[in-house]
Every structure is written in structure tokens, then in C-alpha cells.
Amino acid sequence: MAGTATRFASAFPSPQEANLALTSAQMLTLKIAADSPDCPDKVAIRLAEDERDIIELPFAAVRLLIDLLGEMSKGNAVSLIPMNAELTTQQAADLLNVSRGFLVKLLENREIPHRMVGTHRRVLFNDLKAYEERTKRARLKVLDQLTEESQAIGIGYE
């Protein structure tokens, strides 16, 4: 299944799917808590079709599934992207919620690393997330400075 064409596909869950996702996330969370409070390395789940069939899943996969179900229960679409995935400029722009043109300028200004595949740019998902984290930290730093300045001159919110 690795490398399927639907790797970047997502769809909004129906209200019924959202309700089922909420119930499933709650049940899985309870299952994990009941099995082992010490964070097991695997979780065993019995399949309803045949009570003898038990599937063992890595703990990390179950945590990811719980997070995914939690987002679905809120009506959010969810996409799974491998950390080492190479994205097109349109996919990268969509993930940053910016225009493709703006993203291309970031690439040309070397703010986000990329490589060329023929005439096409490719961006590693890891590099995109690193850029996102850098800009978030920079924004928070500026906000902290503004807060300090406003408090220093007495126009802070009290």
C-alpha cells in the first residue's frame, strides 16, 4: 500500500462518520489505558467478525489512529503525509495555506530548501515543517517584544 495515489487525498467526514470516529477514539483510548498504563509497545485488538482473530498494532500507530479519529470527530478532513515525502509546489503551498506563487518566491529566496526534478521543484515535507516552525517562533518572539514594550510604556492590558 505504500506509495498509493491517495497518499495526499482527504475528505470531510459525514456527520455519521464523525460520530463513529468519536466513539472509536474514546474506545481505543480506554483500551490503551486498560491494557497498560506504562505505554505498551503494541496494542492487541480483537476483530468483531471472528472473536479468535486478534490484530496487534504498534502503539505509535494506535496513538496516530486516535488522533486521526479525534480530528474526524470534529468534522475535519485528515491527510497522512510521510515525513520524508517530496511535495510539488502546489501541495506545499496548500499545506502552508499560501499561494503557489508566494511559495515559489520562498524557494527562490532560499527560505525553504528544494530540489529540481527537470523543470519542476520538489520540497521535502520535513523542510516545509521546519520553515513553518521557524516562522511561528519568529512571530511569537515579535509578539513577546510588543507585549514587553506596551507594558513598559503603560499601555498594557491589565
pLDDT of residue 47: 76
Specify whether the CB–CB gap between 68 and 78 falls below 8 A. Answer: yes
pLDDT of residue 65: 93
Residue 92 CB neighbours (<10 A): 26
Q: Residue 87, class by beta-carbon neighbours within 10 Å (0-12 exposed, 13-18 middle, 19+ buried)?
A: buried
Distance CA 133, CA 143 (A): 15
Query: Which 3 state secondary structure label does DSSP give 24?
Result: helix
* Tens digits of residue pLDDT in 49-100: 777 788 888 988 999 999 999 999 999 988 888 989 999 999 999 999 999 9
Mean pLDDT of 27-49: 76
Residue 54 CB neighbours (<10 A): 10
pLDDT of residue 70: 95
- Would you say residue 145 has pLDDT above 80? yes
Distance CA 68, CA 60 (A): 12
Domain 86-152 class?
mainly alpha
Distance CA 105, CA 112 (A): 10
Query: What are the residue ranges spanned by the domains of the chain?
Result: 10-73, 86-152
Residue 127 CB neighbours (<10 A): 17
